[in-house]
Structure 1
Amino acid sequence: MALAAPQARAWRTRRGPRTALFLRVGRTPRTPRTATVLTGAGLVLLPWVVVLAKTMPQTSEVSNWSTAWIGLDLMLAAGLTGTGALLRRHDPRASPVAAATAALLVMDAWFDVTTSAGTGGQGTALLLAAGAELPLAVACAAVAVRRPR
């Protein structure tokens, strides 16, 4: 903790870009290490997908199915409402909330369509994906990439 205190004071007293301050106090940014870890994790996941494709059963009975879907829809409601509220206030935090919400919307559309394949609800799932979830995901992605003012 004693080592963190001088750095914390340096953050408050020095002006300028944070990366320059990191270099001045002898620390390097962790971006290259984080990038390597994330890239490696993504590459390691590819063989795992092949294993899953070969070993997963085509059908399965799932417990707590309704809880999972209700939870996802509650997260979507929170993300959409939060994005809208933050956007209305011109809050820069709208961008990361919008990005997470866009990802959830795409995921929701994907699972709705794939889990309804071959059932009577497939048409509804496709209609909701094309007419609501994916357009909302595009709108959220547009908010996420905008630079806050």
Structure 2
Amino acid sequence: MLAKTLPQTTEVSNWSTAWIGLDAMLAAGLSGTGLLLGRHDPRAAPLAAATAALLVMDAWFDVTTSAPGSARAAAVALAACAELPLAAACAAVAARRPVF
């Protein structure tokens, strides 16, 4: 139903704020996961899981909202070479660490 009712395009008033916020959450998640892993803290697992989900979401929205052509190619390359491998690494951390 949404695919048929949502508009193909729309104007977003806080576009940069949304992306900066997402990037800040990613930086906090990656930094926090690394810090907790370094301390052998079991809280690294849930943080790594949340960070993996954010990375996948970031890759999805980067690719689907990019303009066709070189912008889309760059988004796909970033997703394939950075965001999705980092998400897989975070998922592996989340899967191997006990939650508590």
Post-superposition offset of 1:109: 0.2
Post-superposition offset of 1:119: 4.5
**Alpha carbons 2:55, 2:86 under 8 Å: kept:** yes
| Partner SS, residue 121 of structure 1 | helix
Counterpart check, 1:101 vs 2:48: no
Find the aligned partners of 1:69 and 1:83 in 2 and give their Cα distance.
Answer: 21
Could you tell me which residue of structure 1 aligns to residue 36 of structure 2?
A: 86
Instruction: List 4+ stretches of structure 1 deviating above 2 A.
Output: none
Counterpart check, 1:140 vs 2:93: no
Could you tell me which residue of structure 2 aligns to residue 71 of structure 1?
A: 21
RMSD (Å), alpha carbons: 1.3
Amino acid at match of 1:82: G
Counterpart check, 1:56 vs 2:10: no
Find the aligned partners of 1:55 and 1:117 in 2 and give their Cα distance.
Answer: 22
| Partner SS, residue 59 of structure 1 | coil
- Which structure exhibits the higher relative contact order, with contacts defined as CA atoms closer than 8 Å and separated by 6 or more residues? 2
Post-superposition offset of 1:117: 4.5
**Alpha carbons 2:37, 2:44 under 8 Å: kept:** yes
Could you tell me which residue of structure 2 aligns to residue 114 of structure 1?
A: 64
Equivalent runs, 1:34-53 vs 2, <5 Å: 51-53=1-3
Give TM-score scaled by structure 2 length.
0.94
Question: Aligned residue pairs: how many?
Answer: 99
Find the aligned partners of 1:99 and 1:59 in 2 and give their Cα distance.
Answer: 32
Equivalent runs, 1:10-29 vs 2, <5 Å: none
Amino acid at match of 1:67: T
Post-superposition offset of 1:54: 1.0
